[in-house]
Amino acid sequence: MDWRQYIHGDPNILQGKAVVKGTRLSVAFILQLLASGWSVEQILENYPTLTPEALRAVFAFASQAVTRNSQRSTIK
C-alpha cells in the first residue's frame, strides 16, 4: 500500500507530525490507541473521519518507519 495517499506532515498541523490527511489524527496517536487495547473497530467507530484504508496506511507508514529505524540500530 502507498501510504502517501493518506498520510502527510504539515508544519501547520500538529507541529508537522505525520497525520492522516483531512484529520488532526496523528499516526502516533492512532498507534497509542492500539497499544492501549483499542480495537480497529473501536477506533473507526470513535473517529468516523478515519477510513479503513487510512488506518491501513497508518500501519504501512509505521511498518516502513520501523524497518528504516531497525536498519540503523539494533535492540539491546
Q: pLDDT tens digits, residue range 12-35? A: 888 889 999 999 999 999 999 999
pLDDT digit string, tens, across residues 51-63: 999 999 999 999 9
Q: What is the CATH number of the domain that holds 18?
A: 1.10.10.10
Structurally, how many domains does the chain consist of?
A: 1
User: What pTM did the predictor assign?
Assistant: 0.83
Per DSSP, the chain holds a count of helices (H) and strands (E) of 3, 2
- Whether 22 and 51 have beta carbons less than 8 Å apart is answered as no
For residue 40, give its domain range: 3-72
